[in-house]
Amino acid sequence: MEHPENDEKYAGLAVNKGIEQPPIVNPYLKRKPRRRLLSAAEYVEGILKGDITVLGQAVTLVESRNPDHQAVAQEVIEKCLPYAGKSVRIGITGVPGAGKSTSIDVFGLHVLKKGGRLAVLAIDPSSERSNGSILGDKTRMEKLSVHPDAFIRPSPSAGSLGGVARKTRETIVLCEAAGFDKIFVETVGVGQSETAVHSMVDFFLLIQLAGTGDELQGIKRGIMEMADGIVINKADGDNVDRAHLAQAQFRSALHLFPLPPSGWTPEVLTYSGYYEIGIAEVWDMIDRYFEFVRKNGYFDEKRRQQEKYWMYETINEHLKANFYNNDTIREMLAAKQQLVLSAKQSSFMAAADVLKFYFDNKG
Ligand code: GDP
């Protein structure tokens, strides 16, 4: 039997006349004028006045990948440099959950009690690989984030560790020129980011937790060697004894390391960020460090070494970008990669070919 739907009169198959589609763009919507990019001189003027809004905009410019923004950003940084450098820079690291945000909130309020201004920056290159940052973008420092003398900036998003770190290094210059005399640089205690932070701060604070007695195992030797102070957080409630045990273990572990070039023996303290116990003691230790290295000249020496480090870092980064962003090189690399993967050419020969092409066509 013929299917009823095949009958011409079957209503379900009738094509209804449509109605006119509304326009995609709402004709009543007033276009918001784009914010005008300030000139380099205007940024500098705003920064030197301590204007946090202008500072924030300038940092956005530093973080931008747009070459026009970068050109202005570099000019702003250059002009701010003579006003920078007059701050204490403190790196703070610890594994996720160690209590960095909680602690920075209370440490921050503590140092601001004596006046001055505090900038909290972060380095978290994890967003590139995991598409989500470990430190997170939400405001985690509740009290500091509403403090008029604090400027909190999350990590520049995505990019190589070198790139993210350089942007943070440049942001420090802008913050200092804007009158921030205390800079915290926070990073997660995983991977390579500690080295980057270490290369831009005067004091490196490692936040640790008391664990099950074998906590020292998980800590990379390199990180302990970088620390100027180790603080064991969550020394509260029934965790106090374990915190003290960890303190003793860290102290004896530190004895195995040679004295750092600063001449300062790293101290190990316990505290509770959440219950605000031992905060002043942690800060007294940091103050003692600064007094010590200012007196023996290490403070200036370290900063000079860091300048040298950043000169090479910047050169390396620009060279790499110039190479890898070259379209012909990209094509060559894609082809060479296939040859290497299928064992048709050795990695060394493939690299030599690409490099030869690059240098032959450079000058
Ligand atoms: P972060 O991932 O290192 O930034 O760590 P958070 O500051 O977010 O802290 C992780 C968790 O530990 C949160 O639930 C905090 O409330 C808790 N915490 C932080 N500091 C302390 C502390 O001193 N004592 C106790 N008992 N808990 C804390």
Atom of ligand 1 nearest to the CA of 207: 3
pLDDT at 206: 92
Instruction: Answer yes or no: do 144 and 47 share one domain.
Output: no
Q: Same domain for 251 and 173?
A: yes
Where the chain has pLDDT below 50, the residues are: 129, 212-213
pLDDT per position as a tens digit, 54-98: 999 999 999 888 888 989 999 999 999 999 999 999 999 988 888
The residues lining ligand 1, judged by C-beta closer than 6 Å to any ligand atom, are: 94, 96-102, 233-234, 236, 272-275
- What's the pLDDT at 96? 83
Residues 293 and 264 in one domain: yes
Q: Quick one: 198 and 342 in the same domain?
A: no
Our count of domains for the chain comes to 3
How would you classify residue 179: left for phi > 0, otherwise alpha for psi between -120 and 50, otherwise beta?
A: left
Q: Are residues 58 and 174 in the same domain?
A: no
- Cα-Cα-Cα-Cα torsion 206, 209, 212, 214, nearest 10 degrees, comes to 0
**pLDDT for residue 195:** 79
Compute the distance between CA of residue 313 and CA of residue 146 in angstroms, rounded to an integer.
35
Is the separation of the CB atoms in 197 and 162 below 8 Å?
no
CA 361 – CA 363 distance, rounded (Å): 6
Give 196 Cα–ligand 1 centroid separation in angstroms.
24
Residue 240 CA: distances (Å) to CA of 95, 205, 229, 270: 20, 20, 19, 9
Q: Which SS3 state, helix, strand or coil, does residue 100 take?
A: helix
Which CATH number covers residue 57? 1.20.5.170
Q: Whose CA is nearest to atom 6 of ligand 1?
A: 99
Q: Which of 152, 150, 149 is nearest to 137 (CA)?
A: 152
**Same domain (yes/no): 267, 226:** yes
C-beta of residue 249 within 8 angstroms of C-beta of residue 286: no
State the pTM of this model: 0.83
Q: Let me know if residue 4 belongs to a domain.
A: no
Output the pLDDT for position 4. 63
Q: Are residues 155 and 270 in the same domain?
A: yes
Strands (E), the chain: 88-94, 118-123, 150-152, 182-188, 203-209, 229-233, 267-270
Q: If you search the block for the tokens 């664990």, which residue do you land on?
A: 211
Amino acid identity for residue 65 in this structure:
R
Measured from the Cα of 95, ligand 1's closest atom is 3
- Considering only CA atoms, which residue is closest to atom 25 of ligand 1? 234
In a domain, 18, yes or no: no
The whole-number pLDDT of residue 274 equals: 95
Determine the Cα–Cα distance for residues 311 and 116; give it in Å rounded to an integer.
Answer: 30
Q: Is residue 304 part of a domain?
A: no
Structural domain including 56 reads 36-82
**Cα 194 to Cα 206: distance, rounded to the nearest angstrom:** 10
> Given ligand 1 and candidates 152, 232, 274, 281, which is best to mutate, with the most ligand atoms within 8 Å of its CB?
274
pLDDT computed for residue 179 by the predictor: 96
Q: Kindly state whether residue 111 falls inside one of the protein's structural domains.
A: yes
Q: From ligand 1's centre to the CA of 118, what distance in Å?
A: 21
Does 287 share its domain with 324? no
Q: How far is the CA of 102 from the centre of ligand 1 (A)?
A: 6
- The angle at the Cα of 234, spanning 232 to 237, to the nearest 5 degrees, equals 130
Q: Are residues 220 and 100 in the same domain?
A: yes
Closest residue to atom 7 of ligand 1, CA basis: 99
Distance (angstroms) between ligand 1 centre and the Cα of 140 equals: 11
Beta strands in 58-158 (DSSP E): 88-94, 118-123, 150-152
Angle at 200 between CA 196 and CA 202, to 5 degrees: 125
Is the same domain home to 158 and 287? yes
User: 34 C-alpha to center of ligand 1: Å?
Assistant: 41
Residues 261 and 337 reside in one and the same domain: no
